[in-house]
Chain A
């Protein structure tokens, strides 16, 4: 794809965040994903050029981190936590259910390009297990059925909103722009905390 003048200006502003330009590799890779949906050769070559690095140095970084994708993912990328606690609490069943429901293997994408599926590691929401992530937004306390309903809503183009997140689910590319550090104006949306996060506070207010 062609990067617009605006894109290049954004990339330049990302580089300027840091005392040393090389630090900008990771946000720039997120930015490439926000434009292309994954990290392609053109993106690697562009970043190498912007940071005066060899392409091998950029691809070495890009292949180290699992969030950088080598091929297109769905508009809504669904991750099911199957680390021990979530797996035991139902994550394994949810993943199996979604695989069957979507007809996908791990890392697969539906033919309509709407949904991709990945099993993920612990996402720091264990008190909401089992956890499903979509474009790295939290869907707490899922069941096999709720997860199926979620992906169905995605395929219908009207994804259910995250449990703790913005009022509506943004696309993979839009989420990638947020991870590149760009403000989409949705920080104020959604709850400030889920029930589990508030449990101790509530109990202490009850004097227990």
Chain B
């Protein structure tokens, strides 16, 4: 935006003090500017004003004309000539507030000593600040059955509820999941669900956080702690690339809960349930505690750090080694792996994309994504958003909330290119461009976009040939912005750090000699390897063909790719150094295991999909676990080189000193779309995505959370269902040459050629079960 937005300012007087605020500001927030706290319950800055609780009543006059009765300051915008008297200067407002508080408390159970909210409760606090010390109520309180589960992870205590409707408004206005509503009427009005439809919103935890009393509580945190016993640390979410600001609450070294932090430009005040409630994996009992080295008998045995480091260094030096780093590394750790590959291993054989990926994608990332600056603000201002290989609600939930906000506010046009209409796109009333899996590229070409449009590309776009080529062409022809939104929190950072075979840090193409000189100079290295490195798949192949003898692996699940067998074979064959937090397919096959710190135990940052740094400190003090970066430095020392990256701070400093690359960007070769397949009657083309809540490793041990996951189903179109005589609930067996899964059928809006199933949900782990995820022809039989 080149023109500054002009904001009309209005000056009002509150309790005798003048304050100027933008036109449209509510009185309650104008008062906040002066540090005047008007008590409130239903008011929330991100929800539409409702004026229900009546706690925030103040006296108002405009140009000498007084309102005959106190007004709810949460519903009235400032006006010129307005004079406001709050409880501090108006006896009427003060009595009105105290009267409302007394009424709010007559039916409140006052069970603060056993309430999770006690100590951080707006009702408790404001009853003290704005209430009478004694109640005149001597009657019979309203009672309800004590807490009822409205989902497996949210409990509702209706006796504590003050009916502010923050939760129901959030569900409707922010999440578009109106599974909780106000029911009944009058004094019996209560929040509730429909008996057969629990509150299975991906965003349900937010209602626990914004509940101003202890009516809504999370099952996982219930009765675990008192707020004043917790130590809070600002943190960033590691679950996806949305980049939520978070707060982690720890008691005696153990994370007890995580809350959404506030960042107006990213997650506002929200997060998703995975980010909020999936953290036990960190403290799971099977954490690796000690280094291990495989002995001459082929057994892994505990080793000292010096022994393990020596073994690792020796093994990595003994033959050509490559680096595989998962998409969850922090920016600093990824930078460490990137530098380690070049400096200690003299190779560009490194790839952070431990998932299905393509050469087209690697070129696209280098040519279009690295260093790019599309942001949430671009979504806010977009005239049209196109989703390609991307389901925001499942794969980057805060992006979904932002789209939904703009949809609700101004009917933002959203177009989704895909095979199956998703729940999220339905909620956005998006235009659904339905194509057979694999044919997305043709649908991308020719979309009528403008320079104000945004194309949101998911990592799954790499799963269909030609899609990314088409996206780049569309952006070129329309000037629309591109944003690449991977699922994992670390991928954008790893890309910027050069943890990929065709790029050095800061978007410098490996193939560019001056780029190599640039980085070599910074690193004090005589030269950097010149050959573009191998990709993920190529690295595994090279191990299996004997060209690579050693692998340094950090945070990788080898079964996240299509060819899991080849990956496992390579890990079996190579000398493997594994940096991990817990036992895995990699550690089982490793020759040296080096335990590393989990996210809560270290500092660092992620770059979210925007490329925005989301830094955090260790939430748990005194952890003995070290970051990947620190351990890589130690291996490098052992190998006789130096990374000079002893600490995260040092790494961050070095990253900051990289500067921007002003040389030529890598180019994107054109890839064409594959031909449409011809299908027999019982053949379908498979398509899938990972659901937000599924069998992901970071959700281990979260039973309450898992209880709200969407059901595992196989989706086919009405036409194909008719041909195969399939109705909802029938069992469908989906097979490939690798194996099969049998799922419950759901007939919905999907391309006739396609069958959809969740990629990694209970009963449907397609990569393992079928060796396929998208675009493969599968056989489907009703059983």
Contact = CB atoms under 8 A, between A and B. Distances in A.
Direct contact of A and B (CB under 8 A): yes
B182 A60 contact: yes
B50 to A, nearest CB: 15
A57 B192 CA distance: 10
B181 A60 contact: yes
Nearest to B188: A63
Contacts of B181: 56-57, 59-60
Given A54-B178, A56-B178, A57-B178, A41 B196 contact: yes
Given A54-B179, A57-B178, A64 B197 contact: no
Contacts of A175: none
Interface string A36-60: 0000010011000000011111111
Interface in B181-199: 181-185, 192-197
Given A41-B195, A41-B196, A44-B194, A56 B179 contact: yes
A63 B179 contact: no
Q: Chain A's interface: helix, strand, loop or mixed, by majority?
A: helix
A203 B523 CA distance: 108
Identify the interface centre among B192, B194, B195: most chain A CB within 10 Å of its CB: B194
Contacts of B343: none
A53 B427 CA distance: 11
Nearest to B150: A56
Contacts of A53: 178
Contacts of B182: 60
B626 to A, nearest CB: 48
Nearest to B176: A54
Contact of A55 (B177, B184, B196): B196
Interface centre among A44, A55, A58, A60 (most CB of B within 10 A): A60
B697 to A, nearest CB: 32
A57 B182 CA distance: 9
B194 A55 contact: yes
Interface in B178-234: 178-185, 192-197
B428 to A, nearest CB: 14
Contacts of B180: 56
Contact of A63 (B177, B178, B185): B185
B197 A54 contact: yes
Contact of B185 (A56, A58, A64): A64
Given A41-B195, A54-B194, A59 B183 contact: yes
Nearest to B183: A63
Nearest to B168: A60
A63 B196 CA distance: 16
A59 B180 CA distance: 10
A59 to B, nearest CB: 5
Interface residues of B, number: 15
A95 B321 CA distance: 91
Contacts of A55: 194, 196-197
A16 B141 CA distance: 45
Interface in A43-102: 44-45, 53-60, 63-66
A66 B193 CA distance: 19
Interface string B266-305: 0000000000000000000000000000000000000000
Contacts of B195: 41, 59
Contacts of A45: 196
B184 A56 contact: no
A59 B185 contact: no
Contact of A58 (B177, B192, B194): B194
Nearest to A58: B194
A75 B305 CA distance: 83
Contacts of B184: 63-64
A64 B190 CA distance: 11
A56 to B, nearest CB: 4
Nearest to A44: B194
Contacts of A60: 181-183
Contacts of B197: 54-56
A63 B189 CA distance: 9
A174 B70 CA distance: 49
Contacts of B194: 44, 54-56, 58-59
Nearest to B185: A64
Contacts of A56: 178-181, 192-194, 197
A59 B637 CA distance: 67
Interface in A133-175: none
Nearest to A60: B181
Contacts of B178: 53-54, 56-57
Interface string A126-137: 000000000000
Contacts of B192: 56, 59
Contacts of A66: 185
A167 B183 CA distance: 38
Contacts of A65: 185
Contacts of A58: 194
A58 to B, nearest CB: 7
B195 to A, nearest CB: 7
A45 B196 CA distance: 10
Contacts of B179: 54, 56
Contacts of A41: 195-196
A55 B196 CA distance: 9
Nearest to B190: A63
A55 B195 CA distance: 9
Nearest to B179: A56
Nearest to A66: B185
In this complex, which of B179, B180, B181, B184 has the most chain A Cβ atoms within 10 angstroms of its Cβ? B181
A22 to B, nearest CB: 12
A183 B612 CA distance: 64
Given A41-B195, A59-B195, 10 more contacts: A44-B194, A53-B178, A54-B177, A54-B194, A54-B197, A56-B194, A59-B183, A60-B183, A63-B184, A65-B185
Pick the 9 closest A-B CB pairs, nearest first: A60-B181, A55-B194, A56-B194, A63-B183, A56-B181, A59-B194, A63-B184, A55-B197, A54-B178
Interface of A: 41, 44-45, 53-60, 63-66
29 contacts: A41-B196, A45-B196, A54-B177, A54-B178, A54-B179, A54-B194, A54-B197, A55-B194, A55-B196, A55-B197, A56-B178, A56-B180, A56-B181, A56-B192, A56-B194, A57-B181, A58-B194, A59-B181, A59-B194, A59-B195, A60-B181, A60-B182, A60-B183, A63-B183, A63-B184, A63-B185, A64-B183, A64-B184, A66-B185
